[in-house]
Every structure is written in C-alpha cells, then in structure tokens.
Homo-oligomer: A and B are copies of this chain.
Amino acid sequence: MSTIRDVAKLAGVGIGTVSRVLSGNGAVSSKTLLKVNQAMGALNFTPSRAARSLVSKKMNTIGIWGTETSGEINRRTLREMEAELKEFEIHLIFADGELNSSKYPNASRQSFDKLINKGCDGIIIWGSDLPALEILQIENEFPNITLLNNKIELIDDKCFYFDHYQAGYVCGQHLIDKGHSNIACITGWLETDDGNQRHQGFLCALNDNNTNIPEELIFEGDYTYRKGYEGALSLLKQDKPFTALFCGNDQSAMSAIAAITNKGLEVPNDISVMGYDDMNIARYTSPPLTTVRIPFNRMAISATRRLLNLCYNLELNIEYDFPIQLIERLSVKKLYVP
C-alpha cells in the first residue's frame, strides 16, 4: 500500500521524479533512477490504478457487448483477446449480452450509456444484435467502438467481419462438386446478418450450378443443438429425398447427424452433412465433420487492436482480410454421378 510519496521520501527525491521514473517520460539521471528503483523495490510499490485513472481519465478497461459471447468458438476467442490486452494491463469486461435489443428496446442504449460514461474506454460490439442505425448513433457520440463479426459501410475501418457470403458459397459449391443435387439445409439464425449471409451465399452457389433447393428442404434454425436435431427430423419427414445437408454451424450439424443416425440412416452413406465453424469437436465426431474454418481469432485480435489504437493512441498492426479454409473430413461423401 505504499504510495509515490513514500517512495519519494525513501529515495530522497521529489514526487515528480518518482512519477517521471514510473512513466519513463521525463529526463532522470542514472543515479536517481537507480535510487528510485531501489526504493520502489524495497517498498514493493505498485501504482494505484484508481489514482491513475482519475487523472488520466482512462479506465484502462474495455468492454465487450453482444450476445455472441457464448459458444465454444467465441470462448476460445475471448482467451486470445485477454492475452492481447494483458500486455497493456487493460482489463476486459463483459457488457451483459442478455439484453436483446428487440426484447428490450431501450435496454441496450442504457447499458451502453453506463459503460460509456465511466465503465470503460472502448467497446467491442460483437455480432449484429443492434440495428446498424443505432450503432451509428452510438459511434457518433462515442467513437471508441469496434465491430466484430458485423459490417457497416460507413464505419468500415472499425469493422472486422468475415465474408460469410463467400463461405456459404464455398459450402454450396463443395456439395455440388461432390456430385450432390438434392440438397437440404438447416440455416443459421436468420435474424443475424452473418446467418443470413452464409445462407444467401449457399443458395447462390446452388443457383449458379442450376441446382435449386425446394422450400420444404430449407429449415430455419438458430445455431442451437436443439434446432439442429428438430430440423433434421423435420426435413426427413418431408416427401423430398435429399443426399446432402448443409447446416448453419457445427453445433446444429452435430445434432442433425445424431437425429439422422437415430432415424436409422447413415452419415455419409445415406446423407452427407456439412457444418460450418470447425469447432474443436468437429474432428472427433462420427463421422468426422466436413466443415469450413473461420479465422475468428485473427479477426478478434484485430478488432481488439483497432480498439486499443483508438483508445490509447497506439499504432498496433491490424488486418482486415480473413481467408476461409475448407476442412474436408468424412461427413460428406462423393456421389457417383452417372
């Protein structure tokens, strides 16, 4: 609990000098530097975050806002962000994601206001829970934000997103390339932008290959295990047979596989299944899951760094381009086409 004044007294210098040593800014002679460092060591001195924040008007804390902070992928990502911030002694806090803006129209603004005012220096908005207009308003009065997995043209330099449209296209094309023409799908959550994009990209790939997918074989999911399971059962009940199923994420793909298997059918012999995300478990399912890998960590790191640059006038490196990767395993089978 020693203060800068204790250090100054022990070292026989003024408090300004100690402060200079701490920040490394002003000029300090090597002799005094040594004295001060010794004193700090002897007193086990650590500067008070609170006092620093009070004068610097920086909380050295950034917040994350959004409901997408669940899911295995996202947790892995949070870890990476933590690591990135630790170096700068910045804290990461969550800004409750339960407040869904559609359910509580004003809740999001309120929780933002709280954060913005005194809680943290910047916010990473994860996902597209908030309407673009609202985000733009927020950005206007509070420019220290960064978007992760969301895209708004007007503030493109603060957006770190992935081309889900293209990835969806790759998935569709892959199933076509494997000889499938009767294809079903369980979409992601279509109320989110990325869920929509990957679905559109997927449909476009089919269309470009003169394959069309009947309405009955499109099941609207929401990324959960539950909808994956129910979706597969529902699709199987339709009259239209299909040989391949594209799912909006790995979770629904996994439970869809379970449903198919429980119905006595075999993956991939009867039905090929393709996922999206490449979760850890994807390689340990039965059969191992063909999926597409999103470089989520790199996106998150860049979003974090951009925010650090904004908040603390740093110039950390950032990337905006995130290539996808098709991961072929065994859940998609090549159809023999006569």
Q: Are A59 and B54 in contact (CB under 8 A)?
A: no
Rounded to whole Å, the gap between the CB of A164 and the closest CB of chain B is 23
A179 contacts B by Cβ under 8 Å: no
A140 to B228, CA, bound (A): 50
A70 contacts B by Cβ under 8 Å: yes
Contact of A286 among B92, B98, B226, B258 (CB under 8 A): B258
A residues 74-94 in Cβ contact with B at 8 Å: 75-76, 79, 82-83, 86, 91-94
Known contacts A70-B75, A119-B49; is A284 also within 8 Å of B54 by CB?
Answer: no
List residues of chain B with CB within 8 A of the CB of A258: 284-286, 288
Interface-side segment among A153-161, A200-208, A249-257: A249-257
How many of A's residues come within 8 Å of B, CB to CB? 49
Contact of A118 among B46, B54, B92, B117 (CB under 8 A): B46
A240 contacts B by Cβ under 8 Å: no
Known contacts A75-B70, A228-B284, A258-B284; is A96 also within 8 Å of B82 by CB?
Answer: yes
Rounded to whole Å, the gap between the CB of A278 and the closest CB of chain B is 13
A247-268 to B contact mask, C-beta < 8 Å, 1/0:
0000100110111011000000
Q: Are A281 and B262 in contact (CB under 8 A)?
A: no
Rounded to whole Å, the gap between the CB of A79 and the closest CB of chain B is 7
Contact of A229 among B119, B261, B284 (CB under 8 A): B284
A92 to B226, CA, bound (A): 30
A133 contacts B by Cβ under 8 Å: no
Known contacts A46-B118, A49-B119, A94-B92; is A262 also within 8 Å of B280 by CB?
Answer: no
A192 contacts B by Cβ under 8 Å: no
A286 to B256, CA, bound (A): 10
Which of A48, A50, A114, A281 has the most chain B CB atoms closer than 10 A to its own CB? A50
Which of A79, A114, A118 has the most chain B CB atoms closer than 10 A to its own CB? A118
Given A54-B54, A86-B96, A225-B281, 5 extra CB contacts under 8 A = A49-B59, A50-B51, A72-B72, A92-B93, A258-B286
Can you offer 21 A-B residue contacts whose CB atoms are under 8 A?
Answer: A48-B54, A49-B53, A50-B50, A50-B59, A54-B54, A70-B75, A70-B79, A75-B75, A83-B96, A91-B91, A225-B281, A225-B284, A226-B284, A228-B284, A254-B281, A254-B284, A254-B285, A255-B281, A255-B284, A258-B288, A259-B286
